[in-house]
């Protein structure tokens, strides 16, 4: 049995702009679900997606198996494909430029390293119920912030 963390982040009404994140966390029993969301402030979609993954994994106990599910190729490829090259190149990307959002990446990698993480990509806005719920939570964070301003 493993945890499953569905994560999503976004900006509205523009990117960059006000940013929020949402997480649907499913416990290993497959029954217990919890919703989490928050407002980031000014940001980009990439920052929002990274923050959602960080928030999702931070709610899973260290050492636990967890499947991180996201519609963000940026987050999932960063974890599964790009990290080794970035580290080898001193945190530089393929163009030789500093990796964007490095502080967030390092936080995410520390969480990944402390858990047994697998990743799964889902197409966004395609009817996958938990992904749609994580998206709705991110948007709820944005609406709540807008109504309190």
CATH code of the domain in which 63 resides: 3.30.420.10
Binding residues: 49, 71, 135
Distance CA 83, CA 25 (A): 25
pTM reported for the whole predicted model? 0.96
pLDDT tens, the chain, 149 aa long: 899 999 999 999 999 999 999 999 999 999 999 999 999 999 999 999 999 999 999 999 999 999 999 999 999 999 999 999 999 999 999 899 999 999 999 999 999 999 999 999 998 878 889 999 999 999 999 998 777 66
* Known binding residues for Mg(2+): 49, 71, 135
Q: Which two tokens stand for residue 107?
A: 């936080």
Tell me which residue range forms the domain holding 36. Answer: 3-148
Tally of domains in the chain? 1
Task: Give the residue carrying structure tokens 């509205």.
Answer: 12
């Amino acid at each position: 049995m493993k945890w499953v963390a569905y994560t999503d982040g976004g900006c509205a009404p523009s990117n960059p702009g006000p940013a929020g994140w949402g997480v649907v966390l499913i416990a290993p029993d497959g029954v217990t679900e919890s919703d989490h969301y928050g407002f980031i402030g000014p940001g980009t979609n990439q920052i929002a997606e990274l923050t959602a993954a960080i928030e999702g994994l931070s709610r899973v106990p260290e050492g636990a198996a967890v499947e991180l599910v996201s519609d963000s190729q940026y987050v999932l490829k960063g974890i599964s494909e790009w990290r080794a090259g970035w580290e080898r190149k001193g945190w530089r990307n393929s163009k030789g430029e500093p990796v964007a959002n490095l502080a967030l990446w390092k936080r995410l990698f520390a969480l990944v390293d402390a858990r047994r993480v697998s990743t799964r990509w889902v197409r966004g806005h395609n009817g996958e119920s938990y992904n749609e719920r994580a998206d709705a939570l991110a948007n709820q964070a944005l609406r709540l912030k807008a109504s309190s301003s």
